[in-house]
Structure 1
Amino acid sequence: MAEPTPGTLLGEMRAKAPLVQCITNFVAMNIAANTLLAAGASPAMVHDMRESGEFAAVAGALTVNIGTLSPEWLGGMRAAAEAATRAGRPWVLDPVAHFATDFRRRATQGLMELRPTIVRGNASEILALGGGVGQGRGVDSGDEVAAAESVARALARETGAVIAVSGAVDFVTDGERSARVHGGSELMPRVTALGCALTCLVGAFAATRPDRSFEATLAAFAMFAAAGEAAAREAAGPGSFGWRFLDALAAVGPADLDADGRVVTA
């Protein structure tokens, strides 16, 4: 069977409008929810451990972002991840600045032991997750994507997860296959929490094709790149880019994701 293209998966995602449980940080909640709505999916920001596990069993996918971590939120993350795994639902981990403190390192190690389907991070986060030393400062990456590619491949083989590295040119690998995604805009890092929102969008595509995690991740990255490219054409700066980006997410079509040079095998 032929591998589905990003454009094909976009059509499927919009037709399905999957419910995605997003356990994300305080900064990202609004933009993450609006990103999913604009793209065609349905967000649910359910994080409390008294209900997160129960909800994960019925959602199409779970995304976990440790940006504003606390012991209570970590309990909700673990309960949801365990329930998603039991129910056979894909889940995505975004280990934000996991190298910055001991609490974050331990929390991320515990979440990785629960075997996420997909891990998305910037180059510094992926380098550190693979045991390397990066130049990251807090949530900001100090490393180029290319520096993390070999570590990402090894980490994918070790964990069985698809590893996705965000940057000027994104890199996605399942340990055997790899691809780079081109597009986006230099304005994207200047709008808070767009990377966190991308993690949630990856969850929407993973929910659409849980048997195609690699292709689903590429489709989400291609949609983000196409929308960023389109929004930047008319934006005067970060402020106008932010709302134009949401409009662009709603407007991009399958042909934009499948354009020549958008996704290139690595």
Structure 2
Amino acid sequence: MQEISWQDEHIRKGFAAIGQTSPFVYGLTNYIAANLSANVLLAVGAGPAIGAASDWTRTFPAGAGGVWINTAGLMSSSEESFTEVARTAQAAGTPWVLDPVAVGAGAAEYDAFVKSLLQYRPSIIRGNASELIALGGGAALGKGVETTASSSDAVGAIVEIAKATGAVVAVSGPVDYITDGTTTVAVPGGDARLTRVTGAGCSLGAFAAAALAAGNEPLLAAQVAHAAYAAAAERAGARTKGTGEFAVALVDELSLLSA
């Protein structure tokens, strides 16, 4: 299996495209992650809008360069708004990212709704190991929004999901894995404190949507987001001690990658 990193030329080129195009990226996410997600998008050169205000769900997915849906946003928005965003993005040909937060944690009705969004053909699906194993029909139950499995445990599941849906699927962990069902790559690196900062994983979905919006094909877009995020996290971790300063440094380092 090939390993990729921020040092690879195609990753840097794909990342640079975000700053060069300054794409508009629209998303539905949970209110806990919204602030960090917006700051991550701004740091990498994209322009975010977040939420289901008024008729945004009918207009923004068609006008945006990329869309992301974080299903934990159902805590404050309706199922109808999520369906409308996914349906509108698909109809408009806008690439979009699905982050199936907490699938497999035991909430059957929630899981069924999340799986119903797959009919609108997301370009990228990303999550933690438990979420993606469950999304693929496996029995790796999550502990709330946290994973009880390692990313390496989910490699088989993400390959099968990619084949079944046509999406690129990415799992986060000590090593991230990304696949289109045929090609699978590994992205090492990052920092353990990513698991202790609220919204860090959610923001990675937003980042992937920005990489899509910049014109990168889904497999490259997922690689760009994961490799750049890992590099920024490593650099942030090298100069910080606590989780609070790490979260701020992560955004700083993403902006410095852009610079």
Query: Who is 1:168 aligned against?
Result: 174
Q: 1:48–1:148: structure 2 CA closer, same or farther, 3 Å change rule?
A: same
Give the alignment's TM-score, normalised by structure 1. 0.90
Q: 1:87–1:4: structure 2 CA closer, same or farther, 3 Å change rule?
A: farther
Q: Does 1:55 align with 2:57?
A: no
**1:70 CA displacement:** 4.6
Letter aligned with residue 17 of structure 2: E
Q: Does 1:111 align with 2:117?
A: yes
Letter aligned with residue 96 of structure 1: V
Alignment of 1:154-233 (within 5 A): 154-209=160-215, 212-233=217-238
Letter aligned with residue 182 of structure 2: E
- Contact 1:124 1:135 (8 Å CA) reproduced: yes
Could you report, residue by residue, the CA deviation over 1:145-178 in whole angstroms, capped at 9, with x for unpaired residues? 1110011101101110000101110000000111
Query: Who is 2:137 aligned against?
Result: 131
**1:190 CA displacement:** 0.8
Q: Which of 99-108 and 115-124 deviates more?
A: 99-108
Q: Distance in 1 between matches of 2:75 and 2:146?
A: 20
Could you report, residue by residue, the CA deviation over 1:204-247 in whole angstroms, capped at 9, with x for unpaired residues? 0011125x100111000011001000000110110110111111
Identity over aligned residues, as a percent?
36
Q: What is the number of residues matched between the two proteins?
A: 251
- Contact 2:40 2:254 (8 Å CA) reproduced: yes
Q: Which structure 1 residue ranges, 5 or more long, are not aligned?
A: 255-266
Q: Distance in 2 between matches of 1:50 and 1:74?
A: 15
Query: Who is 1:244 aligned against?
Result: 249
- Contact 1:49 1:80 (8 Å CA) reproduced: no
Letter aligned with residue 241 of structure 1: F
Letter aligned with residue 140 of structure 1: E
Q: 1:209–1:218: structure 2 CA closer, same or farther, 3 Å change rule?
A: same
Query: Who is 1:260 aligned against?
Result: none
Letter aligned with residue 222 of structure 1: A
Q: Distance in 1 between matches of 2:33 and 2:233?
A: 17
Alignment of 1:144-155 (within 5 A): 144-155=150-161
- Contact 2:97 2:209 (8 Å CA) reproduced: yes
Question: Aligned to 2:72, what secondary structure does the other structure show?
Answer: coil
**1:4 CA displacement:** 7.3
Letter aligned with residue 188 of structure 2: H
Q: Which structure 2 residue ranges, 5 or more long, are not aligned?
A: 1-7
Give the alignment's TM-score, normalised by structure 2. 0.93
Query: Who is 2:82 aligned against?
Result: 77
